[in-house]
Amino acid sequence: MIPAIRQQFNQRFTEEAYQAYLKDLANVYPGQLDFRVAETPVFVPKDFTQKMLDACEAILNEVNTDEYRRESDRAIPTNVNVPGQDDHPHCIAFDFGVCQNEAGELEPQLIEMQGFPSLFAWEAVLPEIYEKHFWCPDGFSSYLNGYDKKTYIGLLKKVIIGDTPVENVILLEIFPEGQKTRIDFSATEDLLGVKAVCLTDLIQEGKDLYYLRDGVKTKIERIYNRLIFDDLFQQSPEVQEKGKLMLQDLNVTWVPHPNWFYRLSKFTLPFINHPYVPYTKFLNEVKELPDDLGNYVVKPLFSFAGQGVIIDVTKEQIENITDKENWIIQRKVKYADAIATPDGPAKAEIRLFYFWEPGKKKFMAAQNLSRLSKGKMIGVRYNKDKSWVGGSFCLFEK
């Protein structure tokens, strides 16, 4: 995105360095890296970063109100409404596409937001290994607002662990050893001391939960939640039955509370009027479909990883949707061919990690990840057999 920097990086790049980089990454947590890592970070100029931060600030001001909380009550499906929700999520991730406006200029466009964790720990590891193998220009950092690796890990500890003894904190998932993002679970245990625990291994005694830590029955006081109900409902009846304990009033603190997965999500976008948020409406509130349907995308509210998204929309497809209140229609954005690579340009998405640090009473941006694509959509399934695509991170101009 910064032509001079991009040119220098590409000129210095070698396949040998990339393969050495991948080997180092694979050896950090052996057997855990299960997605493609791109050949390059995204170099982000100051003005573009500021545009994203300004957009996030405007969105946070809109959703951090009693009015929005009331409106978003209906975002939570009744069959997954978990008791004991707190006043705000512990974290929010904002996904921006690097897009091109009508004047041909690069600008961010919000694609999604989620009140749910991302690869928070892994993205503290990735840039450090990158720097061992590739040229890194002066005056750039993967961190925001003055954070560095040490203070960022300290922030994660405050948010995820708090004042609770670390042995009483778990990362909750369904069969974590089989998840694509399991490398982040390994990084979380390594950097924070918090172990990943499968839902099926929880021990319930009344309102209390326990797990076996090194063979010792240990009480759970705080749950770093990585479990998504949509994933739970794809499991066997026995696992789904076990999952019903999440709907009970338990003696635990959720980080973040599962309800925020629904409250801050695609559901939020129709409430936001901002230049960097594409026009979005709930499908059931659209009285007349636009004539240029090809310029829109239709998305289910309650899915993840791009599942169920209709890219090439037709009236027939919309008419066949029976629960239109659970879908949004969104004007397509034009992803820019912003990243020059040796075998053709790549598109990029940038995810900013925001956290609510205890005692600060405000969300702050701290870290990021990026994803590069040459396919129809961002994501592994759309970029098979392509190079200079996959997961990465941004280096922000200071």
Q: Which residues of 69-104 are buried (b: 16+ CB within 10 A; e: fewer)?
A: eebbeebbeeebebeebeebbbbbbbbbbbbbeeee
Residue 227's nearest CA partner among 168, 163, 304 is 304
Do 223 and 312 fall within a single domain?
A: no
Do 17 and 122 fall within a single domain?
A: yes
Do 63 and 201 fall within a single domain?
A: yes
**pLDDT tens digits in sequence order for the chain, 398 residues long:** 899 999 999 999 999 999 999 999 999 999 999 999 999 999 999 999 999 999 999 999 999 888 999 999 999 989 999 999 998 999 999 999 999 988 889 999 999 899 999 999 999 999 999 999 999 999 999 999 999 999 999 999 999 999 999 999 999 999 999 999 999 999 999 999 999 999 999 999 999 999 999 999 999 999 999 999 989 999 999 999 999 999 999 999 999 999 999 999 889 999 999 999 999 999 999 999 998 999 999 998 876 655 788 988 999 999 999 999 989 999 998 899 999 999 999 999 999 999 998 888 889 999 999 999 998 667 655 677 889 999 999 999 99
Residue 378's nearest CA partner among 25, 42, 18 is 42
Do 247 and 141 fall within a single domain?
A: yes
Do 93 and 137 fall within a single domain?
A: yes
Do 303 and 344 fall within a single domain?
A: no
Do 306 and 339 fall within a single domain?
A: no
- Strand order, beta sheet including 169-173: 195-198, 169-173, 222-225, 253-255
Task: Give the C-alpha distances (Å, rounded to integers) separating 161 from 123, 152, 165, 220, 255.
Answer: 18, 14, 8, 12, 9
DSSP-derived 3-state class of residue 288: coil
Q: What is the pLDDT of residues 170-225, one digit of tens each?
A: 999 999 999 999 999 999 999 999 999 999 999 999 999 999 999 999 999 999 99
Q: What is the pLDDT of residues 100-132, one digit of tens each?
A: 988 889 999 999 899 999 999 999 999 999 999
CA dihedral 195, 160, 355, 73 (to 10 degrees): 100
Q: Of 317, 332, 347, which residue sits at a domain end?
A: 332
Q: What is the pLDDT of residues 3-19, one digit of tens each?
A: 999 999 999 999 999 99
Q: At what angle do helices 15-28 and 122-133 cross, to 10 degrees?
A: 140
Spatial CB neighbours of 190, under 8 Å, sequence gap ≥ 6: 29, 121
Q: What is the DSSP letter of 40?
A: -
Q: Which amino acid, one-letter code, is at 241?
A: E
The pTM score is: 0.93
What is the domain range of residue 384? 3-278+333-397
Do 267 and 197 fall within a single domain?
A: yes
Q: Of 310, 332, 354, which residue sits at a domain end?
A: 332
Mean model confidence pLDDT for the chain:
94
Q: What is the C-alpha end-to-end distance of the chain, expressed in Å?
A: 15
Do 263 and 321 fall within a single domain?
A: no
Give the gyration radius of the chain's Cα atoms.
Answer: 21
Residue 202's nearest CA partner among 164, 170, 247 is 170
Do 270 and 286 fall within a single domain?
A: no
Number of domains the chain contains: 2
Do 292 and 327 fall within a single domain?
A: yes
Spatial CB neighbours of 240, under 8 Å, sequence gap ≥ 6: 232, 233
Do 206 and 314 fall within a single domain?
A: no
